[in-house]
Structure 1
Amino acid sequence: MHDAPAIARDRNRLQHSRRALAHSVSPAAWRRTLEFRRADPTVAIAVRVGRAGAIVLVVGGLLGRTEIAGFAALGSLAAAFLRYEPYPRLARKLAGVAALIVAYTALGAALGVAAAPIWSQVVLVSAGAGIAYWLVLVFGITGPGPVVMIFAAAGAAGFAGTWADAASVTVASALGGLVGWLVAMAPALSHPHSPSRVAVARALAAVSATEQQGAESVPAAQAAIDRARETIALTPKRRVDEHVHELAALLDVAEDTLTDQEPGRSRRDDFARLEAELRKVRSDLRTPRTKTPGSPPVTVPAPDHLRAAKDKALWFSASRVGLASLIAGTFAVAVGLDHPLWATLGAIATLQGVNYGHAVQRAIQRLLGNAAGALLAAALISADLRYWPIVAVIVVCQMGAELTVTRNYAVASTFVTAMALLLTTIGHPGGTDIAAARVGDTLVGVVVGVILAALTIRPDDRHHLPSAA
């Protein structure tokens, strides 16, 4: 006898997946890819990423090691992660990110030296993608995600033919990671309060937004205040000064405003002014106070990574990424694409979406951005530029990606794709056909990612439906 409720649930899930797939080709989904979101200013982050990349590429060129300079640049991309973390936490997490990039570079290099069949490379790299994604989720690593690690592995697999090659690319990646870490941590010496200032600015913006968005936005604003308090609490004791107390007092004012039914226009205007000031590199602003400066210290609990590691939802997400990478890579091999490991990147990037609607948006934007970036890279490759002009373009692309990634992922993907293709050809030039290969592999990856996301969509995920838009 059939279980009627189970049959009904299966039918509802199938209908939900079918509607989700239909959304991926709807005009509304494609229109959303053109939207530019309001985002936090990212000039400082863009400069630090560009500076890290420029240092390693210039040093590689001066030393005459242009063939491995690209791997050093990939290591330096550690500086693109964890943009809002307080410095004590950033130091630990960023070291872990750099170590991951180095480890995946070494893995790819070992596969190349072993002349592993492409099928086994796809299997191992796909497993590595799932593991990297799981680590990113467990340790709360924000930023580009595991695509950087997988791209490093794919590049090293194609480059390393001997153990000497494997050693050189691994060392280059490690040195690049060290440079990325140093560049990201350098502002801790001159501007130690920058993370706290940005966190408070974001909290003020969230509180101000409640005036237009209503009561439903209050929990998000309170969460922003809590995050800002946590960031301030992580300020090293030797760095706690009057300005830190001012920032804590300003959060008290913001929390009072959040619970005050009639806060008054003047306080909202103060928030708008102070938000702009807090994003500048200054420490002399004066904050309005309603309480005594120096709120009681906030106790920051240690992250429970062990508990997160046992979270079944995280295991499911990581397994889904690994499976999508495996399917995309296998299909790319089966149809004879030149760089099947690149197909995994499109699948990974798609499944990093926070919900199905976001995943579809990322998939479309990545495809459009890859096409535009491939055209740009093809034009530059055909121009037969020498090493130094290519370095300049790569640094500009790194900075462009960081400036636009939180505003429009398609534009950011344009810069990322051009940068990736130029890094691939730097030191050992290739033809423009590599650009077309990138688009083909990306198409495979995003299609697989969208289909798998639709088939595994959560029953409560309805962000893609018109009523939830």
Structure 2
Amino acid sequence: MAAPSDRIEHSRSALAHAVSSRTWRQALSLGRSDATLAPAIRVGLATAVVLIAGGLIGRPELAGFAALGATCSAFGRYEPYPRRAGKLALVGGMIVLYATLAALVGVVAPSAAIEVIAVSIAAGVAALLLAAFAVMGPGAVIPVFASTAAIAFAHTAADVVTVFLATAVGMLVGLGTALLPALLHPAGPAQLAVARALAAVDAHRGTPRDEPARAAIAHARTVVTLNGGARADRHRLALMTLLDDAEGLLEAWARGDDPAHAETVLAHERALRALRRYDGLPTGAAVALPAPPRSFFAEGLARITSRPLILNGIRIAIAAALAAWCASALGFEHPLWATMGAVAAMQGVTFQSTVQRGIQRLLGNMAGAAIAAGLLALSPGYWQAVLAVVAFQVTAELLVVKNYALLSIAVTPMALILTGLAGHLSPAVAIDRVGDTLVGVLIGITVAAVTIEIGDRQHLPAPLNPGPNPGRED
């Protein structure tokens, strides 16, 4: 166990890292883009369907909650369809449950203190569940957003029912939209996983470490195993053969050889990324598929009692509550927005990624709030707002891999316009958004620094930390 002085020094170095110029420069770096167009269009389509339906029946407040339910389609974008269905059902059910329970709290106990405590606990639980069940995507901030919106909306029992029904319908639309491609191209996730593995292998050439490439190959094998039924076995075996060939390249390069067939193997990547079945695969090497892994649900149940995950959930709950109370003390009108800032920042895997996400969210919110203020000043009608929300939603999904700050630039105006669907919001609300985000990010980073694990040293200078930077989330 580390001495108290060691922990204090480690926290001090973490806080110093958060304000260093090098950290801020790293937060502005761009990641490598990937095949995100189709998932972005699906998420935008799900949002458009529910918003259009809400407008046609003259219930914009229903459309807003349905759109929150439909955001479940933004999760698990690279998962094989059978596993994606389970994870999306889990996330969608969580969004519906969180919105409904928050609406109930808003009716039964309309107290600011109780609302803060309820939403903060919910944020910690959401972070725990999503981490335990390995659900990649926007993270716990989406269920928290649904909770804050529902608490502000509900005043009667009928409002609770309205929130439940609207969010549930949106969840079903999002689930259906995300799984629709399974009817047209069921091998899509498997082909994309193999393509990404080939890209990782190609990137390994000339570098001393091949762990990332081998990890990508192992992940692709899991996706191929889980994707498709018995009728797709021949295609899956061909994909396994290609992965065997890719692994063979790594072994050859490790021996110092230069295989003549390397370019032939790696050339399959581009065709595999196309939105259609690819039959130009090698055959003959792989003779059987490996046994399927345990279900994600069984694995999640086994991890849900993990001490690090529970402690992280508690940290997030504490940071969320502190952020809301500080925002309230500073006079901001929407203190629960500060909880989202804290939750979004603390979704990082390490302290380094927490700081980067915090910086990126703050900068992105500032730029996005300026855009939102300009749009709100134009007093857009419902259909203009729908068009803006869908456009920002698709843009956000396209930018998710590039940089979280760019993502936040699109998400901030989308969230504010979505919040104002049932009634006009003034441009001044954008200032509140920035203030709440600043409070949330500062509290989140501070709590993360005070509670940092001694083994978390990603933020330290390179001589003390020769390992690679942590990868970005989906």
TM range (shorter): over 0.9
Q: Which amino acid aligns with 2:232?
A: V
Counterpart check, 1:188 vs 2:182: yes
Equivalent residue, structure 1, for 2:440: 445
Q: How does 1:298-309 map to 2 (within 5 A)?
A: 298-302=291-295, 303-309=298-304
* Partner in structure 1 of residue 246 of structure 2: 254
C-alpha separation in 2, matches of 1:376 and 1:95: 33
Task: Identify the match of residue 270 of structure 1 among 264, 273, 276.
Answer: 264
Percent pairwise identity: 44
Aligned to 1:222: 214
- The alignment status of 1:127 with 2:121, answered yes or no, reads yes
Q: What is the CA–CA distance in structure 1 between the aligned matches of 2:385 and 2:260, rounded to whole Å? A: 51
Shift of 1:154: 0.5
Deviates more, 1:183-192 or 1:26-35: 26-35
Rounded Cα–Cα distance in structure 1 between residues aligned with 2:393 and 2:49? 13
Out of 82, 106, 120, which is 2:76 matched to?
Answer: 82
* Inter-CA distance 194–95: structure 2 relative to 1 (3 Å threshold): same
1:367 pairs with 2:359: no
Aligned partners of 2:265, 2:29: CA distance in 1, in Å? Answer: 27
* Aligned match for 1:323, one of 311, 314, 318: 318
Question: 2:27 aligned with 1:52, yes or no?
Answer: no
How many angstroms does 1:12 deviate by? Answer: 1.8
TM superposition score normalised by structure 1: 0.94
CA distance in 2, matches of 1:454, 1:225: 35
Of stretches 263-272 and 69-78 in structure 1, the one that deviates more from structure 2 is 263-272
Moved over 4 A (4+): none
Within 5 Å, give how 1:282-361 maps onto structure 2: 282-288=276-282, 291-302=284-295, 303-361=298-356
Aligned residue identity for 1:179:
V
TM normalised by structure 2 equals 0.93
Structure-to-structure mapping, 1:154-233, within 5 angstroms: 154-215=148-209, 218-233=210-225
Give the aligned partner of residue 102 of structure 1. Answer: 96
Deviations 1:12-35 (A, max 9, x none): 221111111011111111111221
1:404 to 393, 399, 421: 399
Distance in 1 (alpha carbons) for counterparts of 2:333 and 2:261: 60
CA contact (8 A) 1:390 1:422 kept: yes
CA distance in 2, matches of 1:329, 1:201: 44
Quote how far apart the aligned CAs of 1:427 are: 2.3
* Counterpart-to-counterpart distance in 1, 2:257 and 2:139: 40
Pair 1:24 & 2:18 matched: yes
SS of 2:267's equivalent? helix
Superposition RMSD on alpha carbons, in Å? Answer: 1.6
Deviations 1:413-439 (A, max 9, x none): 111111100000012112111111111
1:455 aligns with one of 447, 450, 457: 450
CA distance in 2, matches of 1:328, 1:239: 53
Once the two structures are overlaid, the 10-residue window that deviates more, 135-144 or 114-123, is 114-123
Assess, with a 3 A threshold, how the Cα gap between structure 1 residues 401 and 239 changes in structure 2: closer, same or farther: farther
Contact 1:53 1:395 in 2 (8 A): yes
Shift of 1:263: 5.3
Q: Distance in 1 between matches of 2:450 and 2:206?
A: 36
Structure 1, unpaired ranges of 5+: 1-5
The Cα of 1:209 is off from its aligned counterpart by 2.0
Q: Which runs of 5+ in 2 are unaligned?
A: 470-474
Amino acid at match of 1:240: A
Partner of 1:3: none
- State the match for 2:227 in structure 1: 235
Q: 2:6 corresponds to which residue? A: 12
